[in-house]
Amino acid sequence: MKMMSKRQSVLVSLLLTVGVAMSANAVDMKKPLIPVTEDFTLSNGLRVILSVDHSAPAAALAIVYDVGSRNEEKGRSGFAHLFEHMMFEGSENVGKTEHFSYVEAAGGSLNASTHNDFTNYYEKLPSNQIELALWLESDRMRSLKVTEENFHNQLETVKEEKRSRIDNQPYTPAAIQFEEMLFDNWTNAHAVIGSFEDLEASSVADVRKFFKTYYAPDNAVMAIVGDIDSKKIHGLVEKYFASIPKQSKPSTPSVDEPTQVKPKYAKVEDHHAQLPAFWLGWKAPGRRDPDSYALGLVEKILSAGDSSRFYQRMIKGDQVALKADIGLDERRGPSALEAFVIYKPGHTAEQVREIFWQEVDRLKKEPVSDKELEKAKNQLLRELFSAGSPISLQRSLGRAELLAEYTLFFGNPGLIDDDIESYLKVTAQDIQRVASKYLTHEGVTVVDVQPVPAGTAAQSSSAK
């Protein structure tokens, strides 16, 4: 038997904590990893997943709405993100921003986020306070205050967020342009934060229509995980949500993407950037596509940690870069494999990209070793089971969010088990095959970022 490294030993203890036994060469999982105590649907279409876990006196509620930037219409971008803000502006029985004060006063935490293909909200509370979360979520689903004042209030908030988090951040405007170039279908390409011009051209009637269409019980899934009495929670869900009327199911947007047959390139001048950089990436298959599992491991092999190929070659070895990362942006429908490299002065973008391509092409020509592939799989498992990971299955919130997402996206909360098995079955030949299929020179999109002195007007040029 091979000796396990210190990292593997730590992983073993983490896996055993949540019911997963691991040998040096295999992982044995108890199924299901997230036991579902109850799975029911109200008459108005709201599907609810309950998972009881009495190990700590806490519970988490996650509600996921089937709406993201991909559901927006041209000329009305930014609505999905705007609504993430609007949902905290008050409802029939909850005043403006009182959602925060209620939850925090009860010893809990909360947040929300908007994505291309969904919007999620959560509360984590002491388990004897979980009814509070049910009341709060039901009140705003039923009676959000969509007023002229609240709309313009949050429009200004979103504008300030864009100025501070995008416009005035180094490399971020280039990242937005990169994504807009990477995808050909506007539904996939436009930024989640949207356009100020689109939002300012909207009316309160537009906003109310968006809310009525997408913030309906039959367009959402709610998961509650933790120290709960499932029978009691079932009754409370009925009490707070059953009388909210369902709406007509919105149409599903077309996210089809044409195959890219020639490279795309742009150069962006950035007066906030101190060092030159580039974004580089490819279209990728959607979440749960058979090829997505191998691409998820390609991401780990190339840039996860100091032992990754990019770090060892570009940062430690040739010392041309200060940062070299790659990540898989998984969506329902076409996804993206996106790399970001900050390189050292004295080198050109072309020189650094040549080294980048050498490492990418090596994946296609040479099978990864068993050791390197096992390490990549262990890194992925650690994200699922390490207590510090945001998606950790050790956390009631991580479990609630995964249950809600899998149920909304694929109709089956148990598919997390199938996905882990699919990752663990990936072979060295699979890595070679998907690298050759997707990481092509013809299908690449590149955006160079060139620093410019402060006070100089930044420009961009592009060619598709």
Q: So what's the pLDDT on residue 296? A: 96
Region 274-284: what's the mean pLDDT? Answer: 98
Q: Percentage of the chain surpassing pLDDT 70?
A: 91
Domain assignment of residue 118, yes or no: yes
Residues 292 and 192 in one domain: no
pLDDT, mean of residues 295-311: 97
Summarised one tens digit per residue, pLDDT across range 151-184 is 888 888 888 888 888 888 999 999 999 999 999 9
Provide CB contacts within 8 A for 169, sequence distance 6+. 272
Residue written as token pair 């200060």: 322
Whole-number Å distance between alpha carbons of 170 and 405:
32
| Domain ranges, residue 325 | 264-463
Q: Are 297 and 461 in contact (CB under 8 A)?
A: no
Is residue 30, in this structure, part of any structural domain at all?
A: no
Query: Domain check: are 370 and 337 in the same one?
Result: yes
- How confident is the model over 419-454, as pLDDT tens digits? 999 999 999 999 999 999 999 999 999 999 999 976
138 lies in the same domain as 201: yes
Our count of domains for the chain comes to 2
Residues 216 and 280 in one domain: no
- Residues 145 and 212 reside in one and the same domain: yes
In a domain, 253, yes or no: no
Is residue 23 predicted with pLDDT exceeding 60? no
**Tokens read off for 318:** 């040739």
270 inside domain: yes
**7 in a domain, yes or no?**
no
Question: What local confidence, expressed as pLDDT, does residue 152 receive?
Answer: 87
Residues 193 and 274 placed together within one structural domain of the fold: no
* Structural domain includes residue 20: no
Residues 352 and 457 in one domain: yes
Per the confidence metrics, is the pTM higher than 0.95?
no
Exposure of 463 by Cβ count < 10 A (0-12 exposed, 13-18 middle, 19+ buried)? exposed
Do 185 and 217 have their domain in common?
yes
- Per DSSP, the residues of 332-398 read SSSEEEEEEEEE-TTS-HHHHHHHHHHHHHHHHHSPPPHHHHHHHHHHHHHHHH-TTSTT-TTSHHH
In a domain, 229, yes or no: yes
Regarding whether 229 and 325 lie in a shared domain, the answer is: no
User: Residue 15 pLDDT more than 90?
Assistant: no
Give 79's pLDDT tier (boundaries 50, 70, 90).
Answer: confident
Same domain, 268 and 227: no
Between CA 67 and CA 119 the distance in angstroms is 6
- Answer yes or no: do 227 and 104 share one domain: yes
pLDDT (0 to 100) of residue 11: 31
The pLDDT tens digits for 313-372 are 999 999 999 999 999 999 999 999 999 999 999 999 999 999 999 999 999 999 999 999
- Quick check: is 207 in a domain? yes
234 and 145 part of one domain = yes
pLDDT band at 25 (very low <50, low <70, confident <90, very high): very low
What's the mean per-residue pLDDT of the chain? 90
Which domain CATH number covers 212? Answer: 3.30.830.10
